Amino acid sequence: MSSGSVYRALKCTRGYATAASKQPPIQLQGLSGKYASALYSAAIKKDEKTLSTVEKDLSSIQRVLSSKDGSTIKQFLHNPTLQASDRKKGLSDMMNKLGQPTELTKNFFDVLGENGRLYETEKVIDDFLNLMSAHRGEMTITITSAQPLESSLQSRLETSLKKSTAAEAKTVRIKNVVKPTILGGLIVDFGDKTIDLSVLSRVNKMNALLHQSV
């Protein structure tokens, strides 16, 4: 589904239009990013209080999904065979766990359900919370490495990154993600940008060149 389709679904189905002057602070990729951006724009168009309330709603859902009851709700979210009535009941049960969620939150999940995208819930929440961090001037820089970074190297990277890419951010947080499959090197993610300096990336580029020359 295109970004335009997501925005139109929110506007036509629930009456929450987006405004050009209320764009998300960073551009997110993928389907979940498009839904998260649509929700952000719909919320901030109303006011900051609504935006904050929606953030609290999604954070609460995230906590519920991480709780002992989370597995049952996850099964519901990832079940594509549910009838409309069962989906409606499942969403109602999930919303009831939040206490009194805003109408925008409830309507948004209705749209996810109608579009068959409830399985994207966890990714949408992560993306929305990233938007809120950017909205507050926070920046999380994720450094992916094949092995845990040595403390001295991480300190040097933090100093360098904070002076360059994160100069305008009010708060900067460095997160090291270990992913052996990148073989070596680093992948640096910040905001909507990615710098891929991994060995795997170089290998893939070399393989692509070799295939072109055959």
> What pLDDT band is residue 105 in, cutting at 50, 70 and 90?
very high
Sign of CA dihedral 31, 71, 89, 98: negative
Where in the chain are the domains?
A: 3-134, 138-213
Distances (CA, A) of 121 to 54, 128, 163: 14, 10, 35
| pLDDT tens digits along 56-91 | 999 999 999 988 878 889 999 999 888 989 999 999
Instruction: Give 190's contacts (C-beta < 8 A, 6+ positions apart).
Output: 139, 140, 141, 142, 161, 165, 166
What class, spelled out in words, does domain 138-213 have in CATH? alpha beta
Q: Letter for the amino acid at 10? A: L
Instruction: Tell me the mean pLDDT in the region 127-153.
Output: 88
Answer whether residue 199 shows pLDDT above 50. yes
Answer whether residue 135 shows pLDDT above 50. yes
Regarding pTM above 0.75, the answer is: no
Q: Which of 95, 109, 187 is nearest to 141 (CA)?
A: 187
| pLDDT tens digits along 176-190 | 999 999 999 889 887
